[in-house]
Amino acid sequence: MAAQARAGRLTVGEGAQAREIAYVALPATPAGAELPGLVWLGGFKSDMTGTKATALESYAAETGRACLRFDYSGHGASGGTFEDGTISRWLEESLAIIRSQTRGRQALIGSSMGGWIALLVARALAAAGEADRIAGMVLIAPAVDFTSTLMEPSLSAKAKAEIETTGRWLRPSEYSPEPYPITKALLEDGRNHLLFGTAIRTYGPAHILQGMQDPDVPWRHALALVEHLADDPATLSFISDGDHRLSRDQDIARLIAAVAEVK
């Protein structure tokens, strides 16, 4: 009998900082009980109902593996406002959800910003003596350090001045008719979590999928990440005609194949 996914909410933070984080957890069946669970870490301004996240859950259901997907605060079905979001807050939420809703070894699957979050989650777990919980990673166009290396350099002088004086700037989006705010808090907090310039650990095998036609995370960014990886095996797959989302049927097939290798 196939396992049934369970939707829930977890309160993260206290007092005025408390927010309700929505998640969907699929338990393992006997067929997949010995395999690592799958944890989906989404991108900036995306949610857990996207093509890749739901395809991952479908694969987990077919193979009996556990699967966890969730929305950061200010995203999708979770509480909180997007403008309050920072890397610190979204990392705190990711760790809380993983610790409360998973058991044993997990494969971290991070898309765009979720790739950065996955690496930060791994570092935090290792620092807490929980490195053995990480079975490996699959990272899709990982936007490591994106607030400092990709976002800030692209801001115009006018946008930077607006952020400095008002605390935010509304950036037009290619993926939504509504612009989204880039806040001073997001940029400043991001500097506290930079990974480039240091040895980066994945604490298990990592497979990076990167589109070479990605306008948001250049393929050289993925190459730079591999150059920083230390002591862990890594595979980098370039998709010559791939965009940022990598959500076509052939891209999903590549993703599932990479995830299937994490055992």
* Over residues 37-46, mean pLDDT: 97
* In the predicted structure, residue 177 carries a pLDDT above the cut 90: no
Q: What does pLDDT average to over the chain?
A: 96
Overall pTM surpassing 0.85 (yes/no): yes
- Predicted confidence (pLDDT) per residue in 200-258, tens digit: 999 999 999 999 999 999 999 999 999 999 889 999 999 999 999 999 999 999 999 99
Cα(114)–Cα(70) distance, integer angstroms: 11
Considering the domain 6-146+195-260, what is its CATH architecture? 3-Layer(aba) Sandwich (3.40)
* In the predicted structure, residue 174 carries a pLDDT above the cut 80: no
Q: What is the pLDDT of residue 1?
A: 61
* In the predicted structure, residue 37 carries a pLDDT above the cut 90: yes
Q: Are 66 and 27 in contact (CB under 8 A)?
A: yes
How many distinct helices (H) and strands (E) make up the chain?
A: 9, 10
**Which amino acid is it at 15?**
G
Close Cβ partners of 151 (under 8 Å, ≥ 6 residues apart): 182, 187
Q: Are 145 and 117 in contact (CB under 8 A)?
A: no
* Over residues 22-44, mean pLDDT: 97
Per-residue pLDDT band at 70 (split at 50, 70, 90): very high
**Which amino acid is it at 210?**
Q
- Predicted confidence (pLDDT) per residue in 121-141, tens digit: 999 999 999 999 999 999 999
The sign one gets for the Cα dihedral 210, 189, 13, 95 is: positive
